[in-house]
Amino acid sequence: MIVVGNSNVNTFKQQGLVTLAGAEQVSVVWVGALTAPDFYNGHPAGHKVQQLFEEHRDEWKFLSLGIHDIYDLCGAASKFQLNNVLRVLQQLYQQLFTELSRFGRFGWLVFPQPAHELTFPGVSPEEVLEIARTFNSHMKQWCGEAGVAVIDPADRILGPDGKPLPHLLQKDGIHLNVQAARCYLDDIAALTGVPLEFQSDAPPFEPANEPESFVSLLLNALDMPHRRQGGLAGLEGRLLDFVAELLRGKGLELDIDADTELVDSGLLDSLNLVETYTFAVNSIGMEIVYDVDLRTLDTAGKICRFLEEQAQGGPEPEGPTFEDFITSMRGDLADPAQREAILAADARIAALPQARVQEFIRHFEVVSYSFNCNYGIIYFWLSFFAAQNRNYATALELLKHGSTADLAYPVRGEHVRYYRERWEKLQEMAQGPAPRPAAQSRPRLSVVIPSYNYGHYLKDCLESILSQGYPNLELIILDGGSTDDTVEVIRRYEKHIAYWRSHKDAGQYAAIEEGLNRASGEIMTWLNADDMFHPGAFDAAGRIFAECAEVEWLMGRPNSFDEQGRQKHVLSYLPLNSRAKYLADEEFIQQEGVFWRRTLWQRSGACIDRTLPLAADLELWARFFRSARLFSVDMMLAGFRDHPLQKSKDKAGYTAEADRVLARERELFAAEKTPFNPPAPLPILIQGDRVIL
């Protein structure tokens, strides 16, 4: 059996589902903020669900879907478009459920709509609930007619106001707790004939606020072990108490000891023995050993001795546990009674193996609907990973970012102060700066400028390039036959230009392609004639590419100038991009200030898609992402000038082209047997003469 879907499956995953008949585990897979359109737009989450359904044809499959689609309906309602969007969504669900049913036994898990989680203009929380009722009611009726199973214990979960009963919610007031989840287990068991129970009897972690909900999702997606082994001391006594409670449930008050036979004596049945064994394993934090004949463990003593043998010499879980992260997150380092436990948890988090760090970052991208995270605790832990590699400058930068007032949920206090002071001292003790690469060792940098009737901006553009003082520069200008003073401006700077021409051509992107293929530099970029580079951009890019062989393309912090060339806007965060995030259309990559290696340009086709007059840069980035990670450096490299004549004012045209490109790339991604999809790399930091990756 498999349960898959959005964040509502988190409770199942955290407690661990088993089938009581043979203690077989149920697979619980969380795939992010899933929507029905994800199954048709090439989104990796939709592809993942279809793949799981294909792999589990012979099993029951349950899908949690609907919360985020209903939010989209609420957004349509705020624009007075509800009826049309509702009809389209219902048709889409019917098509999707029909297709999923072809993979065998399938059921839809319906969860309550959190009415207060998001707000929509002109749509009250009560109207959100009514929209959810309307959609769910229609779909449940259709499912009944189509033979699609529906699991919706609303009659036991919702109150008269249509909201979950307070005692069935986690502390965050959004997600259902274990008690509510048991209602779903009961209904699934009634449908499938397979009794289900949670693997863990320990009190579950219930997030008390939004950051804790976020962290819970992230750690469960990583399958982080929940606790360290608590040892076998006292297990026998706890086990005898558990058995005595089972007997009292059967109306028996008996004194038993560690050698009392449980099943062979008729006191318990085989199902009770499974419960007893599961309780013993969970009480000491061990993984369940399934390959065992429980009939040979018919006494409390035998169970204890078996577990002692399994645990003997067994290592503690590698790296941190779920509890370590929560201790680090919730603890107060200023409290002497907590200090030792918090620092020990921090140390285990910092020692997370590098492969697991990459998984952490990859899942972070999935859990957060956008990588622009508002949760300071995530940057706090990322700073641990950097400090573990002695990258104290990067660690301090991440620590600073995680405590900034710009975040909705910063992390502050003694915990931050402790590590800031510690890492500042360690940084001072570190070796002096590495020698700066000699000027002649800087890679050749080719800058291509397409131009057409932008003479009044071109002078500023060229000055921003030449004032860099970069010693190994190749400047190429391709003008489309301008009728203003562009040529006069070019001639004034001719001695600094490796190649230029001015005649009618096939347009901006044809000129860019021509220039890039004419260029001889190891590093390449283009800048439109109305835009400008920031001081120090070439020096930073040249040093990064010279010292970091793994960097194949690079971007800085997005920003813009006004029509007069004054700084207008700087993005409040540094985007960290990956292919998955790009395909989800969650982050715009500003073309100005993107640099790349010639080898990446050639590997990606050495061409610009001229059928896209507005979004050809986005299409080129999509091809780059197929084989290379995009690195970021937290400095402004170049900015675009905002003025009335710029092509980017056509937002609708750009969006239409971008949607076509991303749809194509999602299809390619879904078809790849082994997709290139590494997590976004951490930012590059330049400190003095040092480049820290």
Domains of the chain: 2-203 (3.40.50.1110), 235-311 (1.10.1200.10), 322-429 (no CATH), 439-692 (3.90.550.10)
Q: What is the pLDDT of residue 369?
A: 41
Strand partners, 478: 450, 501
Using pLDDT thresholds of 50, 70 and 90, give the confidence band for residue 46.
confident
Q: What is the pLDDT of residue 531?
A: 93
User: Regarding predicted confidence, which is higher, 190 or 233?
Assistant: 190
Using pLDDT thresholds of 50, 70 and 90, give the confidence band for residue 239.
confident
Q: What is the pLDDT of residue 608?
A: 93
Q: What is the pLDDT of residue 484?
A: 92
**Percent of the chain, pLDDT > 90?**
28
Please identify which residue in the block is written with the tokens 């098509």: 95
Side-chain half-sphere exposure of 180, counting CA atoms within 13 A: 28
Of the candidate ranges 114-123, 169-178, 654-663, the one whose mean pLDDT is the lowest:
114-123
Q: What is the pLDDT of residue 466?
A: 93
Cα–Cα distances in angstroms (integers) from residue 631 to residues 70, 482, 550, in the given order: 36, 36, 9
Q: What is the pLDDT of residues 170-222, one digit of tens each?
A: 776 777 788 888 888 889 889 988 888 876 655 566 667 777 777 777 777 77
Of the candidate ranges 17-26, 601-610, 621-630, the one whose mean pLDDT is the lowest:
17-26
Q: What is the pLDDT of residue 603?
A: 92
Q: Does residue 39 carry a pLDDT above 70? A: yes
Q: Does residue 519 carry a pLDDT above 90? A: yes
**What pTM did the predictor assign?**
0.51
User: E strands, 91-218, where?
Assistant: 106-109, 149-151, 196-198
Of the candidate ranges 50-54, 450-454, 513-517, the one whose mean pLDDT is the lowest:
50-54
- Planar angle of CA 230, 234, 237, nearest 5 degrees: 135
Residues, the chain: 693
- Say which amino acid occupies 319: G
Q: What is the pLDDT of residue 436?
A: 52
- Say which amino acid occupies 18: V
| Distance separating alpha carbons of residues 17 and 29, to the nearest angstrom | 12
User: Regarding predicted confidence, which is higher, 208 or 155?
Assistant: 155
Q: Does residue 64 carry a pLDDT above 60? A: yes
Average pLDDT over residues 566-591: 81
Cβ proximity of 514 and 499 under 8 Å: no
The per-residue pLDDT of the chain, averaged, comes to 83
DSSP, res 634: S
Using pLDDT thresholds of 50, 70 and 90, give the confidence band for residue 360.
confident
Of the candidate ranges 25-39, 224-238, 261-275, 569-583, the one whose mean pLDDT is the lowest:
224-238
Q: Does residue 31 carry a pLDDT above 50? A: yes
Average pLDDT over residues 530-536: 93
User: Regarding predicted confidence, which is higher, 347 or 10?
Assistant: 347
Q: Does residue 274 carry a pLDDT above 70? A: yes
Sign of CA pseudo-dihedral 352, 27, 580, 78 = negative
Q: Does residue 94 carry a pLDDT above 90? A: yes
Using pLDDT thresholds of 50, 70 and 90, give the confidence band for residue 509.
very high
Average pLDDT over residues 381-387: 86
Residue 2, both tokens? 């498999």
Alpha helical stretches, state H, 435-573: 455-466, 486-492, 508-518, 537-547
Cβ proximity of 46 and 40 under 8 Å: yes
Q: What is the pLDDT of residue 344?
A: 82
For the packed helices 336-350 and 322-330, what is the interaxial angle rounded to 10 degrees? 130
Average pLDDT over residues 459-471: 93
Reference 450, options 521, 561, 525, 520; nearest CA is 525
Average pLDDT over residues 585-595: 83
Using pLDDT thresholds of 50, 70 and 90, give the confidence band for residue 118.
low
Q: What is the pLDDT of residue 370?
A: 40
Q: What is the pLDDT of residue 182?
A: 87
DSSP, res 495: G
